[in-house]
């Protein structure tokens, strides 16, 4: 990773470093941060002669070659100082709560708008709403392009950023063009490396964040971080990691709750962790406990399916959406947990 002396390399300087690294079969991926750009060297970046040649350039401040499979997402990476800002909120500075319906019902746009206003009122910082849905059965409602306008109306009416899942290139293009703030990669696509690369390329420099769910089949923590590395290596380091329960399920829950991997993720990667308790436990009545547990484990936030009238919802909403009233209480308790957590951070520093 090349850290320039100025905020950015000029195009001439970029050409010069690109030419050098290509001689060693590497390539440069510029990554724009809020204050400065850094330049990832992708490939075998630990080649001493290459590093020395780059360090010899008078516009290069440092060359950071960390010993990790995750060059960009590792806690030791230069990017660890990178801040992800969504709708004016920096993730990690206060609990980042995303809430809203599982699915937008195109026949019922007013329900979604009502939910959007209610979750804002409850204190959510972003609104979720599925325009397109990955459904187990091909005959179930798959979502509809027309719901994108409803999502945009909710964004305009509330002023909050919005999140939706994309599963293919068509949806990705529509969502990027529409100005969706957070693109969700679902558990079924979490290891679809072609899609991850495409998303990273298409969202690079666009200030769009990617919420990457953990795959359903429980893989090692490193596999999850490696998937986020694909998005960053393609140009977008604004990745949020989202544990959402895994398979095989825990009897009684929809999946096997996995919010407890948060501290393990935090030890290895700087990426914020936004836990999804809704898909993890799969029943509205269990969601508040799972959300509070996630926050106690050190998550930066949660994404919670919420519906103003769950019984009128479609997709997951009738069974696992909480109401805005419950969300209001839950956010207040999450704020308390956030405060309590700071005691233990201090203890850890003293130890
Ligand atoms: C969702 O968020 O509604 C969803 C389908 O999530 P997952 O990909 O985690 O199943
Ligand atoms: Mn859902």
Q: What is the pLDDT of residue 35?
A: 77
Q: Specify the residue with its C-alpha closest to ligand 1, atom 4.
A: 186
User: pLDDT category, 173, cuts 50, 70, 90?
Assistant: very high
Asked if 324 and 116 touch (Cβ cutoff 8 Å), the reply is no
* Domains of the chain as residue ranges with CATH: 2-65 (3.30.70), 85-350 (3.20.20.70)
Q: Which residue has the higher pLDDT, 348 or 222?
A: 222
Quote the CA–CA distance of 273 and 256 in Å, as a whole number: 18
Q: Specify the residue with its C-alpha closest to ligand 1, atom 2.
A: 102
Q: What is the pLDDT of residue 111?
A: 98
Tell me how far the alpha carbon of residue 262 lies from the centroid of ligand 2, in angstroms: 21
Per-residue pLDDT tens over the stretch 301-347: 999 999 999 999 999 999 999 999 999 999 999 999 999 998 887 65
Beta strands in 197-350 (DSSP E): 209-213, 239-242, 274-275, 301-305
Quote the CA–CA distance of 119 and 267 in Å, as a whole number: 32
Q: What is the pLDDT of residue 45?
A: 81
- Mean pLDDT value of segment 192-213: 96
Asked if 183 and 172 touch (Cβ cutoff 8 Å), the reply is yes
- Mean pLDDT value of segment 177-181: 98
Tell me how far the alpha carbon of residue 215 lies from the centroid of ligand 1, in angstroms: 10
Q: What is the pLDDT of residue 348?
A: 56
Assess whether the C-beta atom of 128 lies below 6 angstroms from ligand 1.
no
Per-residue pLDDT tens over the stretch 52-95: 999 999 999 999 888 888 989 999 998 998 999 999 999 999 99
Orientation of helix 147-158 relative to helix 109-122, angle to 10°: 30
Q: What is the pLDDT of residue 265?
A: 97
Q: What is the pLDDT of residue 350?
A: 41
Quote the CA–CA distance of 314 and 183 in Å, as a whole number: 21
Q: 14: which 2 tokens? A: 């970029």
Asked if 127 and 162 touch (Cβ cutoff 8 Å), the reply is yes
Quote the CA–CA distance of 255 and 337 in Å, as a whole number: 24
Q: Using the predicted structure, report yes or no on whether residue 351 has a pLDDT greater than 50.
A: no
Assess whether the C-beta atom of 186 lies below 6 angstroms from ligand 1.
yes
Tell me how far the alpha carbon of residue 338 lies from the centroid of ligand 1, in angstroms: 25
Q: What is the pLDDT of residue 347?
A: 55
Q: Which atom of ligand 1 is nearest to the CA of 276?
A: 9
Quote the CA–CA distance of 109 and 349 in Å, as a whole number: 49
Orientation of helix 193-203 relative to helix 169-178, angle to 10°: 20
Q: Which atom of ligand 1 is nearest to the CA of 128?
A: 2
From the list 144, 161, 157, the residue with the least C-alpha distance to 97 is 161
Distance of CA 283 to the CA centre of its chain: 23
Q: Which atom of ligand 1 is nearest to the CA of 187?
A: 8
Per-residue pLDDT tens over the stretch 242-251: 999 999 999 9
Per-residue pLDDT tens over the stretch 97-106: 999 999 999 9
Asked if 305 and 101 touch (Cβ cutoff 8 Å), the reply is yes
Q: Specify the residue with its C-alpha closest to ligand 1, atom 9.
A: 187
Q: Which atom of ligand 1 is nearest to the CA of 189?
A: 8
Among all ligands shown, which has an atom nearest to the Cα of 315?
2
Listed residues: CB within 5 A of ion ligand 2: 102, 316
Count the helix, strand and coil residues of the chain and give each as a percent rounded to the nearest 5.
40, 20, 35
Tell me how far the alpha carbon of residue 351 lies from the centroid of ligand 1, in angstroms: 39
Q: Using the predicted structure, report yes or no on whether residue 10 has a pLDDT greater than 90.
A: yes
Q: Which atom of ligand 1 is nearest to the CA of 103?
A: 3
From the list 346, 335, 298, 304, the residue with the least C-alpha distance to 321 is 304
Q: 130: which 2 tokens? A: 């599925």
Among all ligands shown, which has an atom nearest to the Cα of 245?
1
Q: What is the pTM of this model?
A: 0.94
Q: 295: which 2 tokens? A: 């926050």
Average pLDDT, the chain: 95
Q: Which residues pair with 31 in a beta bridge?
A: 38
Tell me how far the alpha carbon of residue 128 lies from the centroid of ligand 1, in angstroms: 11
Q: What is the pLDDT of residue 218?
A: 80
């Amino acid at each position: 990773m090349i850290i320039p002396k100025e905020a950015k390399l000029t195009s001439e300087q970029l050409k010069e470093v690109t030419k050098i690294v290509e001689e060693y079969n590497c390539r440069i991926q510029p990554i724009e941060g809020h204050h400065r750009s850094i330049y990832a060297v992708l490939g075998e970046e630990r080649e001493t002669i290459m590093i020395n040649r780059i360090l010899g350039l008078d516009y290069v401040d440092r060359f950071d070659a960390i010993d990790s499979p995750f060059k960009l997402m590792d806690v030791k990476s230069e990017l660890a100082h990178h801040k992800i800002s969504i709708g004016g909120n920096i993730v990690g500075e206060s609990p980042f709560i995303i809430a809203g319906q599982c699915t937008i019902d195109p026949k019922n746009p007013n329900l979604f708008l009502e939910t959007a206003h209610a979750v804002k009122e409850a204190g959510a910082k972003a609104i979720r709403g599925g325009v397109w849905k990955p459904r187990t059965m091909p005959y179930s409602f798959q979502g509809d392009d027309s719901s994108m306008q409803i999502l945009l109306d909710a964004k305009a009416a509330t002023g909050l950023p919005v999140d939706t899942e994309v599963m293919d290139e068509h949806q990705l293009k529509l969502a990027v063009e529409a100005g969706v703030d957070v693109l969700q990669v679902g558990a079924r696509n979490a290891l679809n490396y072609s899609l991850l690369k495409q998303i990273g390329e298409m969202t690079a420099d666009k200030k769009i964040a990617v919420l990457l769910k953990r795959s359903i089949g429980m893989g090692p923590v490193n596999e999850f971080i490696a998937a986020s590395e694909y998005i960053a290596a393609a140009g977008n380091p604004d990745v949020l990691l989202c544990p959402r329960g895994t398979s095989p399920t825990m009897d009684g829950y929809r999946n096997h709750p996995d919010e407890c991997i948060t501290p393990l993720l935090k030890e290895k990667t700087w990426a914020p962790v936004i836990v999804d308790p809704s898909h993890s436990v799969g029943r509205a009545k269990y969601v508040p406990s799972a959300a509070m547990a996630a926050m106690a484990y050190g998550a930066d936030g949660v994404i919670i399916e919420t519906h103003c009238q769950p019984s009128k919802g479609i997709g997951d909403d009738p069974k696992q959406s909480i109401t805005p009233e419950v969300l209001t209480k839950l956010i207040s308790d999450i704020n308390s947990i956030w405060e309590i957590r700071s005691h233990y951070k201090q203890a850890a520093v003293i130890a």
